[in-house]
Amino acid sequence: MAHFAVLGPLAVESPPGRWAVLRGERQRTLLAVLLLNAGQHVPADVLVEALWPDGPPKSATSNLHTYLSRLRERIEGLRVEHGPPGYRLHVEPEELDLLVFRSAVAEGRRTGDPVAAAGHYRRALALWRGPVLAGLHVPRLDADVARLESERLAVFEDCVDAELTAGRHGELTGELQAVIAEHPLRERPAAQLMIALHRAGQQGGALEVYRRLRSTLIEELGVEPGAEARRVHAAVLRGEDPVPRLPPAVWPVCQLPPDIGDFTGRDAELAELTGVLGAGSGVPLAVLSGEPGAGKSTLAVRAAHRLRPRFPDGQLYVPLAGREIGEVLADLLRALGVPGPAVPDDVRARAAVFRGRLTDRRVLVVLDDAVDPEHVRTLLPGTPGCAVLVTSRRRLSGLAGAHRLAVGPLSGADAAELLHRLAGARVARERADAERIITACARLPLALRIAGSRLAIRPHLRLGELAGRLEDEVRRLDELTVSDLAVRSSIALSYEGLRPPARRAFRLLGRCRLADLPAWAVATLVDDPDEAVEELVEASLLEARGADGTGEGRYRMHDLVRLYAAELTDPAPGERLRTVLAATLALADAAAARLPRTVPMPSPAHEPPAQPLPDELVERLLARPDDWFAAERANLLALIGTLGARDALLLLDRLGVYLYLHGQYADMRAAYETVLDAGPPLATVAEATLTLLRHARGEYEEAAVRYRACAKELEAHGDRRTHAWVSANLAHCLIGLGRAEEALQTAAHARELFTVDGSPAELGWVRAAESAALVRLGRIDDAREVDRTALAAARSTGDALVIGEALHGFAWSSLLTGDDAGAVAAIAESVDLLRGTMARSALAKSLRTRGAISAATGARAEATAAFGEARELARELHERPRELSCTRALAAAWIGESRAAQAIPVLRACLEECREMGGRAATGLTWLVLKRAYEATGEWAAAEAAEAEAAELLDPRDASAAVLRRALLALTEPA
């Protein structure tokens, strides 16, 4: 193992006890550069510049390799790594005097005992044998050499401070005089010499040192001595002991607030913070930002407590809100052992002393509620080993190299757990009302803590009562106040920190009913939005959510923040808000017109609304109308509650085109329920649509009753067209219930109502019901004729959706009349056409029929593939009856694959649901398949009972059921 020395002439001991001789100047230069950068990569061009300061030869690279080879030959065990970043010399800390020096200095700064510290410093200074690299001049290293000399002087001064504190002033005067003679402009050793002379009884000599220092500074630099020298001079004049500082603070120091016992959730955030701040490289900086009330400070305190073992020297907690940075630094310095008189006046000087106190220590600094990035920079430690955790309402985007973590609302589970911890077991007992409270609190920890505290204070307050109060937007912020906690005041702090343009933008955006704002709406509401919106995002009062499916940027103001903004008055915002509303309604109208209409209800007659937005913007937004509806769905649902009944129903119809197309029945149901109290005929239209959703879920009995009630009201109000649609829907529902004769009569009535202005699509829906009813009555030829007529009318429209649905009916009646080839061709064309549309429900229906036709015609593989795809689509669209019928078919196929035991529980589950829906044919067919499964497993009694149940339910006239029976039983045959 070699030993190297650079603190004086360059020297190499290799092996121990024998000094290596490096004859070439360039060999010595190369080694010197590598040693001063030990452990770091040095780029090749830096080495070349050091070796040839007047310009490298053409063979510089080759020569560099030669010099390295010779160094390896002369120095045993020399470890130089070469890679893309450059050359790196590996040395252990004890192998290089510079590293030993720094290690001893670090030991001195870590100890709290001035005597021990002085010992470490003296050991470090003893390693210096003269100027760095004495006798070797390398221009490329001049700055490094000067920096090391400054480092040595600083350590000497620290050593003198420690020895003065320990009372060793008598031994220092000679050294200090020598240093001052060499560095006459350096104030710190002059002040130290004044202290040593004063303590030795040489007051005159001490004052003479100050006089010479002042004279030199004025003559050379034109400045007076600094605060520390003036303080010592004043103390000497008063005859006081001018010791510059008391013993250093006792380490470790912990200023953290207590960690709260009911802290809940945030596991992912805590893991991320501990990983970033405990990484151990450099001075990691993490910034927690988020909206008011998100729990940033609480999270920071929890993380800091968790990190304490990694920062054994201490944890500093610095509240920054509303405080001057100079005041903050003064408090920190006093906490770290700097006496009041020794705290510099200048902020930058205080920051330097603060960094000096943390040098080579392992301290976590928590800066709470920071506002200004410059304040954070001022408080950053200067040496590796420390870490900084910042909380701020702002993002502090100006902080370079910071790891940012946005703190949002709690997850639903964590929000419920926090409320449970605060309010007790009744949260679990009154779960539905607890969820209402959590929703009203937007899952924000501060709001939940207030709500939970109110429940804890008043154990007899029902959760439902508090939930009702919180759901009233007018009083919600009033309710979210307890003791000194208030959501309103938390948000107000962020608002008051905004500049006037951002404040006005905040007020306008809060008045807008769109919770999730597209960029065009922001630009409509706010003058010169870029700067104001950027400030709101920076202040965590507005969330930038990236681009939606249309490419439009999105912004979101969280519920409680929006309520606060809406409370603030703003002169004349109405016109802009009306423009945003008008544009949104016009976009919804145009987007719906571009989507296939699959909902079997009529569209209300209306004039297309005027569009205030530019045509090119509208075209860009609606280029993919499905994406536009997906982006605006939540906004449109929220708007419905703010409109009059007629406008709300019109918007519902437009949104319903999208929702029904994608099987989003829950949203559709909730929206239509909001207009049920509007009174007839509007409420009747809403009720008829809600009945349609029951029908889609398989609630046939209830749907039939409600369809009839709606039909009567529509007839009384003379709404012939809606009455026709409701009657057609009732006919389809009756078919599901096995009431074919009644279905046929109802369909005929619907066709009669459509006679005046029925479109091919409308008449096609009625004819589909007629055909299905005729098939179930055994009138197959009549059904085929109805389907043929419907297909001809559909083809005349050129509409792929209308044609695809008509082909579906024609394919089925073709199969029933024995035209297998025609059925296969028609259903294949239907599926192909519907795949090109967005009508997934119609596609699922045709795929299911394709599965049945394929099974009936012996194409088993094609049948199971079609049934499987249809089932997945039906499941995505929440169309339970269709999903069940496909599941039954796939279970039938399992029987043919010797998996009957696996099929039986699935078929039993299907059977129970079919019974609940009231579908006689569906239930009977399921019994038949179950019979085959029982036979395959040898359960003969169960098979016989299943056959009897099927015979009781299936109508012998039902040709459709007969063909389905054939198809399903074919699937049960061995594959």
pLDDT tens, position by position, 505-559: 999 888 887 878 999 999 998 888 888 999 999 888 998 888 989 999 999 998 8
- Higher pLDDT: 819 or 241? It is 819
- 254 residue type, one letter: C
- CB 762 within 8 Å of CB 600: no
pLDDT band at 140 (very low <50, low <70, confident <90, very high): confident
- Determine the Cα–Cα distance for residues 638 and 48; give it in Å rounded to an integer: 69
pLDDT of residue 277: 92
Judged by average pLDDT, the poorest of 448-457, 482-491, 730-739 is 482-491
Centre a 10 Å sphere on the Cβ of residue 436 and count the other Cβ atoms it contains: 18
Q: What is the pLDDT of residue 892?
A: 93
In terms of C-beta distances under 8 Å and separation of at least 24 residues, what long-range contacts does 235-239 make, across chains too? 235/198, 236/194, 236/198, 236/203, 236/206, 236/207, 236/210, 237/207, 239/203
Task: Identify the weakest region by mean pLDDT among 405-419, 758-772, 823-837.
Answer: 758-772
pLDDT (tens digit per residue) in 428-445: 899 999 999 999 999 999
Q: Distance between CA 295 and CA 438 in Å, rounded?
A: 15
**Distances from the Cα of 88 to the Cα of 85, 96, 147, angstroms:** 9, 14, 21
The mean pLDDT value of the chain amounts to 88
pLDDT of residue 758: 61
* CA dist., res. 894 & res. 909, Å (int): 15
Q: What is the pLDDT of residue 339?
A: 67
Cβ within 8 Å of residue 344, ≥6 positions away: 227, 228, 350, 353
pLDDT in tens, 30-87: 888 888 988 888 888 888 888 888 888 888 888 888 888 888 888 887 888 888 888 8
Contact between 733 and 700 under an 8 Å Cβ cutoff? The reply is yes
* The predicted structure's pLDDT at residue 572: 58
Most confident of 168-177, 329-338, 671-680, 932-941: 932-941
Q: For residue 252, is the peptide bond before it cis, meaning its omega torsion is within 30 degrees of 0?
A: yes
Higher pLDDT, 515 or 346: 346
Amino acid at 145: V
Q: Is it the case that residue 244 has pLDDT exceeding 60?
A: no
Q: Are 707 and 687 in contact, with CB atoms under 8 Å apart?
A: no
C-alpha span between 228 and 528 (Å, rounded)? 51
Q: Is 757 a residue whose pLDDT tops 60?
A: no
DSSP assignments along 166-200, one per residue: TT-GGGTHHHHHHHHHH-TT-HHHHHHHHHHHHHT
pLDDT bin (cut points 50, 70, 90) of residue 657 is very high
Is it the case that residue 245 has pLDDT exceeding 50? Answer: no
Residue whose C-alpha is closest to residue 430's, from 451, 409, 410, 450: 451
Residue 171 exposed, middle or buried by CB count within 10 Å (0-12, 13-18, 19+)? exposed
- What average pLDDT score do residues 908-917 get? 89
Residue 880 three-state SS: helix
Q: Enumerate residues 6+ apart whose C-beta is below 8 A from 530.
A: none
Q: Transcribe 803-823 into DSSP letters.
A: HHHHHHHHHHHHHHTT-HHHH
CA distance 714 to 824: 41
Banded model confidence at residue 271, pLDDT cuts 50, 70, 90: very high
Q: Which residues contact 547 (CB under 8 A, 6 or more apart)?
A: 553, 554
Q: Are 553 and 621 in contact (CB under 8 A)?
A: no
Residue bearing the bigger pLDDT, 936 or 239: 936
- Selection from 911, 915, 912 nearest residue 929 by Cα: 911
Calculate mean pLDDT across residues 624-636: 92
Contact by Cβ (8 Å): 298, 414? no
Above 60 in pLDDT, residue 232? yes
Cβ atoms < 10 Å from Cβ of 356: 17
Comparing C-alpha atoms, which of 814, 846, 845, 841 is closest to residue 827?
846
Q: What local confidence, expressed as pLDDT, does residue 247 receive?
A: 47
- Say how far apart CA 359 and CA 968 lie, in whole Å: 81
Confidence of residue 1 (pLDDT cuts 50, 70, 90): low
The answer to which of 19-28, 190-199, 788-797 has the lowest mean pLDDT is 19-28
Confidence of residue 321 (pLDDT cuts 50, 70, 90): confident
User: Two tokens at 586?
Assistant: 């016009």
Contact 940, 910 (CB under 8 A): no
Residues in contact with 728: Cβ distance below 8 Å, sequence separation at least 6, in sequence order: 600, 746, 747, 750, 754, 762, 765, 766, 769
pLDDT of residue 111: 66
**What is the 3-state secondary structure of 222-275?**
CCCCCHHHHHHHHHHHHCCCCCCCCCCCCCCEECCCCCCCCCCCCHHHHHHHHH
Burial of 45 (0-12, 13-18, 19+ CB in 10 A): exposed
For 729-753, b/e burial (b = at least 16 CB within 10 A) is: bbbbbbbbbbbbebbbebbebbbeb
Looking at residue 680, its pLDDT comes to: 82
Is 341's pLDDT higher than 70? no
| Higher pLDDT among residues 671 and 245, named by residue | 671
Average pLDDT in the 387-413 region?
91
d(CA 237, CA 574): 73
How many whole angstroms separate alpha carbon 969 and alpha carbon 963?
Answer: 10
- Strand, coil or helix: what is 292? coil
Q: What is the pLDDT of residue 113?
A: 63
Burial of 413 by CB count in 10 Å (0-12 exposed, 13-18 middle, 19+ buried)? exposed
Q: Rg for the chain (alpha carbons), in Å?
A: 42
Mean pLDDT lowest among 345-349, 578-582, 683-687 = 345-349
Q: Where residue 574 falls among pLDDT bands split at 50, 70, 90? A: confident
pTM over 0.75, yes/no: no
Of 722, 740, 718, 721, nearest in space to 731 by CA: 740
Amino acid identity, residue 174? G
Residue 862 has pLDDT above 70, yes or no: yes
Helix (H, G, I), strand (E, B) or coil at 533: helix
For residues 422 and 305, the answer to whether their CB atoms sit within 8 Å is no
pLDDT for 851: 95
Q: Are strands 543-547 and 485-486 parallel, antiparallel or unpaired?
A: unpaired
Give 686-721 as a 3 state SS string.
HHHHHHHHHHHCCCHHHHHHHHHHHHHHHHHCCCHH
